Structure 1
Amino acid sequence: MIRALGLVALLLAAPAGNAQEVIADLDQTSVSIDSTFAGQEILVFGAFTADAPPDIVVTVAGPPEPATIRRKARRMGIWVNAAQAEVSAPAFYAVASTAPLDAILSPAADLRHAITLPHAVRSVAAGPGQSRSFVEALVRIRTASGAYRRDGEAVEVIGGRLFRTAIALPSDLTEGDYAARIFLLSEGAVIADYATALEVRKVGLERFLYRLAHDRPLVYGLMSLAIAIAAGWGAAGLFGLFRR
């Protein structure tokens, strides 16, 4: 953060010219998930230079993860899975901007930089045969669950050259490397952009169990089975004492 503040100071001190630049950072570059984690808010802030006041868009994307989307259809009076698509989509995606995206972002710029939710999902699609309906269904489901978010007026411009916005991270955050991107827009086009990273990691017992389940699944399964058996025996013994 100190490094970013120094770079912001240099950018603000630079003489005005034709260059259009943006620089940004996060108030923290890592998030730790433990048993008490109930969600967190990160601050994205920075500075910019532009010939005219630009619009600003900030996106935060989680690591891609596989997802299966199924379409149901009625066959002989029974609902069955008629079609499905396999995609790889961000586990989390948030978009914040100075104004509604429909008013400040052109379709061409959106397609090129994959800013809005449908394009962000398509940009990491697992195969070329993904139809729009499957992607829209995934976006709709994850938006309802809070994993995908969009706020059209959440970026605050301060003093004409500074900006800030807060991104809320959910309590069921997926571990991995997150990417924060900042775009300067003018007349619908991207005139400058910047990217930085956020590391999300499990710590403590959660970290141990997570690594054990992924690195040594057999040991994890046997340990889980042993704990379940011990808990069952313990509960049976406790109830037996109460009956006496």
Structure 2
Amino acid sequence: MRRLFVLLALVLAPYMTAAQSEEIVLGLSRNEVAITATFDGSDVLIFGAIKRNAPAPAGGPLEVIITLAGPDQPVTVRRKERVLGIWANTDAVEVDSAPSFYAVATSAPLADSLSAVEDLRHSISIPRVIRSVGAPDSVTDAESFSDAIIRIRAGSGLYQRLEGQVDVEEETLFRGQITLPAALTEGAYSARIFITRDRTVIDTYETEIAVFKAGLERFLFEMSRNQPLLYGLMSLAIAIAAGWLASAVFRIFQR
């Protein structure tokens, strides 16, 4: 038995060394994003280097994939159809989990950087991060509901596919930039970096970026959650004051 283990170690040693010969060293331009009353989006620069304990292995070029994902949320997707001349909800599917924001940036086309098997294993592409376990028996095309989420959120900049947007220099240094839109959900945003060769993942690195409300936005949010009665009275008072002010300005112009 011991000879068998020794033989396996000798056979697998070259592969283990090659797999660990390239590692990611990461940096971020910022590790937190504050949402204020004037927040209109932000750019996050993700950069790093490849650390090697041996010369770069022969084979295909090194590619870099960067993903940034917001907090996961369940989503109910409804389909509208015209019934008796009126648009009405006909089918609904509960998608178990979909990131509120998701961007995937690559140094080459995603299909050239990653195999389908590796995508399934690491959940990198946009369709792979949306989890929908089941749908009602009456719905025969459940995948179309996930496609609808992707289409709608891509149109509003919440889902981004940025192929060829990661710069790689001498297979050692890399940098990529992801733009966060104004409509962000609070929470921890997971940044993942993958390096691949021959469409196979060699190494991964993961970190987090905190996104939170600040200033007046934080004050109002906390009040609405912790003191709903006071928040409601303040909102009512502001509405009455705004109405009185508009009426006073209108009377002045009438004169």
Aligned counterpart for 1:150 among listed residues 143, 161, 165? 161
Whether the 8 Å contact between 2:62 and 2:171 is mirrored in structure 1 is no
Matched, 1:128 2:128: no
Amino acid at match of 1:128: G
TM-score by length of 2: 0.81
Q: Give per-residue Cα distances to partners, 1:204-232, cap 9 Å, x unaligned.
A: 11111122223333332232122112211
Residue ranges of structure 1 left out of the alignment (5+ in a row): 1-16
What does residue 170 of structure 2 align with?
159
| Partner deviation per Cα, 1:62-102 (whole Å, 9 max, x = no partner) | 11234321112232232211111233321111110011112
| Runs of 5+ consecutive residues of structure 2 not aligned to the other structure | 1-16, 137-141
Aligned with 1:215 (options 209, 216, 226): 226
Identity %: 48
Once residues 78 and 179 of structure 1 are traced to their aligned partners in structure 2, the CA distance between those partners, rounded to angstroms, is 42
SS at match of 1:43: strand
Q: CA offsets per residue over residues 18-66 of structure 1, 9 Å max, x none?
A: 3232221211111112122222111101112452442111000111234
Aligned residues: 225
My pick for the range that moved more, 162-171 or 213-222, is: 213-222
**Structure index of larger Rg:** 2
**Root mean square deviation, CA, Å:** 2.0
In structure 2, the partner of 1:42 is 44
Q: Do the aligned partners of 2:196 and 2:203 also contact (CA within 8 Å) in 1?
A: yes
- Number of the residue aligned with 1:63: 71
* CA–CA distance in structure 1, aligned partners of residues 69 and 121 of structure 2: 16
Residue 4 (structure 1) aligns with: none
Deviating above 6 A after TM superposition, structure 1's stretches of 4 or more consecutive aligned residues are none
For the 8 Å contact 1:65–1:91, the answer to whether it is kept is yes
- Is 1:25–1:196's contact at 8 Å kept on the other side of the alignment? no
Alpha-carbon contact 2:94-2:135 (below 8 Å) kept: no
User: Given residue 124 of structure 2, which amino acid in structure 1 is its aligned partner?
Assistant: I
Looking at structure 2, the residues matched to 119 and 111 of structure 1 have their Cα atoms a distance apart, in angstroms, of 7
